[in-house]
Structure 1
């Protein structure tokens, strides 16, 4: 007799209360299926957490790069762990960070405006140059070079008013919210 013939909605490990360990190198599959993910490298378990935490608050550089696209940026100054300076722009952090640290910025959290149109409202903004624009159907992947020569990725969706003018060489201002930044120990300091 099948489970369907008994009138049940089907068998699942969760309904049966059984733990299942599934090993995959497909990050999208892991994010979609798991309620907890363990990231292993070199035989070491680096982080175990729910998918949202793994993505938004990776424990180190490897985990940040392994799960989704990101930009890991070196900060110039850290304001005693209360904030940071990058490419001449200062931004506070939602909570104090242990120094030294780098920041992780996911492309979907970055907004860009042409430098000529960027508001001079005193808000956080990093000056950059567009290096590459790749059309992806639902939007564009934009590679930026910051004034301190670091690279930053941005995902710009259709309907964003800057999309029609994106071209290599365009000076822009990139912004992201303080809460969208993940703080990581600088490589080699943890």
Structure 2
């Protein structure tokens, strides 16, 4: 039998662990969070994604209790958090700097919060052992933070945050200090640990790849508002706005005007050019301004004219060779630029295409997402 898909947000009987209800946060005249309502469910790995200054860290700090909402309510497990100090919340926060105590060993760092709570020594030892095992740090228990690598320090901070068994762990750009390869490895470790402990994780990041890798759902933010909340696949394949389409991954965005045609719309995009065609469930009126958002990997490139309804000729202006992929930047009539991507499956294959070549781009009727202007 197939494993049931984890999607508590789709079940009307599920109670959320976290509820933001009409939350606004102002700093003087600046509105950091603008009337935000959002539910987060137990055992989710929820990512807050957006550019600097979009309000994602403010949201997290309000959850932790370091900031108070100007208006609205935040509930955790049904309890209003107004006036509940950070140390009385079933929440722990892991900071970007890790903030480990340099003079304490790895094991002592992990035990620190438990000692402060007055947990009996035997229980502390058991819990520290469990955390060392979970984060694969048993061999490093007696070392000091400066004697281990950045990735290991990151895991110590995680073990310390999880030692108190919080209902909710907040991670603020937790992998920011790691190099690319280690980041990738650590993302999978984080997912593994989150699954094993069943703790709800909320991560703040401006790295879209990270959000798309680790999260059960991603909230894309802009100027204190959540623009779209969905699974990584939905955000990538079905963005609800030009902002979200543009923020996530590489995308072609072509502006035009819509005319109903068959199962979808013809989109006029340049004087004297054949319109593009897109199928969509959305409704557009005749001559309504619209945008086609299309991922480069859905655009085929060839030297011969293809049979596809959506085809256009252009000239290769630039080629980015990324090892496993090549991205071709193609100038269309009227100056519009489009990107097409091909997988380099064979060594030095497809080198027939080069700068200044005239090529054809084509795609299916369902490849583009049609968005309102």
Q: TM class, shorter-chain normalised? A: 0.7 to 0.9
The separation in 2 between residues aligned to 1:6 and 1:90, in whole angstroms, is 56
Counting only pairs closer than 5 Å after superposition, residues 85-96 of structure 1 correspond to structure 2 as 85=267, 86=269, 87-96=273-282
CA-CA distance at 1:162 after TM superposition: 8.1
2:301 paired with 1:112:
yes
2:175 paired with 1:175:
no
Local SS of the residue matching 1:167 = coil
Counting only pairs closer than 5 Å after superposition, residues 5-20 of structure 1 correspond to structure 2 as 12-20=193-201
Q: Structure 2 stretches of 5 or more lacking a match?
A: 1-125, 135-188
What residue is the counterpart of 1:80 in the other structure? 260
The separation in 2 between residues aligned to 1:5 and 1:92, in whole angstroms, is 53
What residue is the counterpart of 1:68 in the other structure? 249
Local SS of the residue matching 1:20 = strand
Q: 1:16 to 1:5 in 2, by over 3 A?
A: closer
The separation in 1 between residues aligned to 2:209 and 2:280, in whole angstroms, is 28
CA-CA distance at 1:122 after TM superposition: 5.9
2:230 paired with 1:49:
yes
TM-score (norm 1): 0.81
TM-score (norm 2): 0.44
Local SS of the residue matching 1:137 = coil
Do the aligned residues in 1 keep the contact of 2:298 with 2:367 (CA within 8 Å)? Answer: yes
Name the stretch that deviates more: 51-60 or 164-173. Answer: 164-173
2:130 paired with 1:3:
yes
Q: Structure 1 stretches of 5 or more lacking a match?
A: none
The separation in 2 between residues aligned to 1:66 and 1:110, in whole angstroms, is 19
CA-CA distance at 1:118 after TM superposition: 1.6
Do the aligned residues in 2 keep the contact of 1:30 with 1:37 (CA within 8 Å)? Answer: yes
Which protein is richer in helix relative to its size?
A: 2
2:217 paired with 1:28:
no
What residue is the counterpart of 1:153 in the other structure? 339
Match of 2:289 among 79, 88, 100: 100
CA-CA distance at 1:140 after TM superposition: 1.2
Local SS of the residue matching 1:169 = coil
Do the aligned residues in 2 keep the contact of 1:112 with 1:173 (CA within 8 Å)? Answer: yes
Local SS of the residue matching 2:310 = coil
CA-CA distance at 1:92 after TM superposition: 3.8
Q: 1:90 to 1:61 in 2, by over 3 A?
A: closer
Do the aligned residues in 2 keep the contact of 1:97 with 1:183 (CA within 8 Å)? Answer: no
Do the aligned residues in 1 keep the contact of 2:278 with 2:366 (CA within 8 Å)? Answer: no
Local SS of the residue matching 2:234 = helix
Local SS of the residue matching 2:200 = coil
Local SS of the residue matching 2:318 = strand
Do the aligned residues in 2 keep the contact of 1:70 with 1:105 (CA within 8 Å)? Answer: yes
The separation in 2 between residues aligned to 1:174 and 1:6, in whole angstroms, is 52
CA-atom RMSD, angstroms? 2.9
